[in-house]
Amino acid sequence: MSLFNRRRILALAGVGLLAGCGFTPVYKSGSAASDLHGKIAIDLVKGRNGFELRERLEERLGFATADAPYQLSFRLKTTETGLAVTKDEGTTRFNLTGVADFSIKDVATGKTVFADQVKNTTAYSATSETYPSRIAELDANVRLAQALAEQIANRIAITAKGWHR
């Protein structure tokens, strides 16, 4: 039996096992997660990282209509830590850690229906040149904000069945 056929058999067996344990796709048509698309308005946040996070969330969750039943608020905090230090005490590698606290409020009742926190880390290298180091830092901040947005969108999708009416 060829390697391709073995992989195909294993893949089909895996699908059968997942179906047997109650696995269902999160974004299946008619699911709570797919029904939320375009129904969550996202608060504006100051700063580049907040802008990037909000943009990615809108890509994932859809642009909210004027009568969106839910409001997403988040607070973003980033910290930078130097990792690699040269002999002359210059830092050449930095870690960026981001923590986003977020909550979803039912607009009609004003009640918070879901709240959580996500955390992620990214890194960048610095050189003795200012411009390339600044560009690397900006890129790392964008990557961090986008990773946090992906985590938030995934948490919302996974938990939607429990709080979405």
pLDDT at residue 66 greater than cutoff 80:
yes
3-state secondary structure of 86: coil
pLDDT tens digits, 88-146: 666 688 899 999 999 999 999 999 999 999 999 999 988 878 898 899 999 999 999 99
Q: How many domains does the chain have?
A: 1
Domain contains 20: no
Maximum CA pair distance of the chain?
61
The pLDDT of residue 165: 73
Rounded Cα–Cα distance for residues 54 and 12 (Å): 38
Domain contains 7: no
pLDDT at residue 149 greater than cutoff 90:
yes
Rounded Cα–Cα distance for residues 36 and 152 (Å): 14
Domain contains 74: yes
Domain CATH number, residue 63: 3.30.160.150
Give Rg (Cα) of the chain.
21
Q: Which two tokens stand for residue 154?
A: 């995934």
